[in-house]
Amino acid sequence: MARECEITGKSTQIGGRYSNRTRATEFNPVGKTRRRANIQKRRIFVPELNTSVLIDASAKGLRHIKKLGAFKALKKAGII
């Protein structure tokens, strides 16, 4: 399964590398690169349910949990 944030849905993206030398030479292929999301495995305690939930969340997803609260953020994401 792909690395994906369960809160925000962020996952890996494929993009092009861009060399500064490209500006000077007009044609300088350098290939593709995979940009990975900052996914972290965290155990979140939900006081409303009096239980812990193990999730894979990006750094931005963790900030959503901190801002909205664990129960509201996980319910909005469809985990609870």
Report domain extents, the chain.
13-77
| pLDDT computed for residue 33 by the predictor | 84
Query: What interhelical angle do 59-68 and 70-77 show, nearest 10?
Result: 120
| Count of C-beta atoms within a 10 Å radius of residue 69 | 14
Tokens of 56: 């894979």
> What is the rounded distance in angstroms from the CA atom of residue 53 to the CA atom of residue 66?
15
* pTM of structure: 0.77
Q: Which phi and psi angles does 61 have, rounded to 5°?
A: -65, -40
Instruction: State pLDDT tens for residues 5-61.
Output: 999 999 999 887 776 665 666 666 667 889 999 999 999 999 999 999 999 999 999
Token pair 């999301």 is found at 37
The pLDDT assigned to 24 comes to 60
